[in-house]
Structure 1
Amino acid sequence: MDAPTLSYDLCVVTFIDILGFRAIVQRDNPISIFKRLTAMRRINGIDEPDEELSFHAFSDSIVRVRRIRGSVSEAVGLEANDIGLAQMDLFHEGVLIRGGLTVGQCYGDRNIVFGPAVIRAYDIESNLAKHPIVAIDPEVRRDIDMVQEFPNRLNRMKGLGPLIAVGEEGETWVDYLSISRQELDEDADVLEGLAQHKVIIDRGLSLYDEPRIRSKYEWLAAYHNNFCMGYAHIDTLPLLVRAGLTAMATVALQERIREWRKRPYGETHDICGSEHDGREEDDFGEEDHRNLEKLKS
């Protein structure tokens, strides 16, 4: 019997690793685990043929394949949007993921997936995703567009708007907080989502002392606070993560708050229940001040 004729397609390939999966399997029932795995199957509302997308899950590893029929930038944007929404849904259940996203040659159907892009996506997840992020292949970043800087916000990639963020060290990842914010119509819904995000980070910082795990929540705290400080018309200060920060991070956050208050936007829109009119205030408690004194000494 002759072997079928196969060929690679140009695809967006995302490799996902669910962190702490061993503990999830030991703790949760099969239905709950199944729901979490299939959350990464999420696709947007844009009409795309089923054959353009494939999803493969094995234990804690998930591979998503999106075939590119038009613009590479559009396909990356669609994939980033899907990943970001799924990542936020999982985060609200206390599940962290890490991943790698690339563009390249791949074959995938309902039963099998392979190709250079799958290996590349795995390598990106393993080597570049140091935090609970879905890291973007640096080559994809260079090919799509140049980086554009926005004051007081995470850097963005031109052409992909708030879908992809660029950190201070040049790392590029799916900006799931901004993607979730785009899906919400009301400021109150945004704040509710950020409040849930803060609760999970606070809990992680209070539970974990092991550096390998704690560092993930420290990074998430910085990401969360940076996102909150990007708003001018909404008072997000009560939603900042403060407890459990290192002395250095506490000093940096206090400085960010001072700068935030100096921005020439007038009074902020009070949604969190506290008025801020730009005056200098002491936003820190006793523990924060003790951290400051330790750093000074």
Structure 2
Amino acid sequence: MTDFENDPDYEECLVTVFDVLGFRNLLHTRSGAEIRDLLSMFRRVSEGDATSLTRSDEMRMISEVHAEIVSDAIVKTRTLETQYQAGPLVWELIDLLHIQIECVANGILVRGAMTIGPMHLGIDFSGPVFGPALVQAYFMEEGEGEWAKPGGHA
């Protein structure tokens, strides 16, 4: 079994997975530009707290955030190894608030899940992005998304 704590290719991250509800309907009622702008918002809200990228084994001042978007599936990863331990969760909650405000303003509903666990992000977020935390967040979103439940990787 993989020892994620001692594997230098993994780091502890806060992972948020979103599903845009009614996406098939959006494809038939919104232009490509409107859908692109909506999905780009998931990256745009996090740009304000971005800093220059560092190697995953260097201590960061604040967390780094990255969003992967494929159709109606969005994965946000936020690094946790920072000098300010409460910072990553606070920044993610602020981002989630802004995402929800923008989605509601555009008539969009999202379902999601958040967890903490090991992720592979690659140097400078070059990917590929994978890890147990992503799998756990995905299954939480798919199966338990109707209830707000905190999760963590054991």
With normalisation by structure 2, the TM-score equals 0.76
Q: Deviations over 1:134-191 (max 9, x none)?
A: x452449xxxxxxxxxxxxxxxxxxxxxxxxxxxxxxxxxxxxxxxxxxxxxxxxxxx
Counterpart residue number, 2:89: 76
* Count of matched residue positions in the alignment of Structure 1 and Structure 2: 133
Matches within 5 A, 1:108-257: 108=121, 109-130=125-146, 135-139=148-152
Which of 31, 36, 46 is residue 43 of structure 1 equivalent to? Answer: 46
The 3 A distance-change label for structure 1 pair 110 and 94 is: farther
The 3 A distance-change label for structure 1 pair 48 and 10 is: same
In 2, distance between residues paired with 1:84 and 1:12? 16
State the secondary structure of the residue aligned to 2:13.
strand
Among the aligned pairs, what percent are the same residue? 28
The 3 A distance-change label for structure 1 pair 50 and 24 is: farther
In 1, distance between residues paired with 2:140 and 2:92? 16
Higher relative contact order, chain-length normalized (CA < 8 Å, sep 6+): 2
Q: Deviations over 1:252-283 (max 9, x none)?
A: xxxxxxxxxxxxxxxxxxxxxxxxxxxxxxxx
Counterpart residue number, 2:13: 11
Alignment check: 8 A CA contact 1:40 1:83 kept: no
With normalisation by structure 1, the TM-score equals 0.41
1:69, CA displacement in angstroms? Answer: 2.1
Q: Once superposed, what is the RMSD of the aligned Cα atoms?
A: 2.3
The 3 A distance-change label for structure 1 pair 139 and 117 is: closer
After TM superposition, the runs of 4+ consecutive aligned structure 1 residues lying more than 6 A away are none
Between structures 1 and 2, the one with greater strand share: 2
Between structures 1 and 2, the one with greater helix share: 1
In 2, distance between residues paired with 1:118 and 1:139? 11
In 1, distance between residues paired with 2:50 and 2:68? 21
Q: Deviations over 1:194-228 (max 9, x none)?
A: xxxxxxxxxxxxxxxxxxxxxxxxxxxxxxxxxxx
The 3 A distance-change label for structure 1 pair 26 and 47 is: closer
1:86 to 2:99 alignment? yes
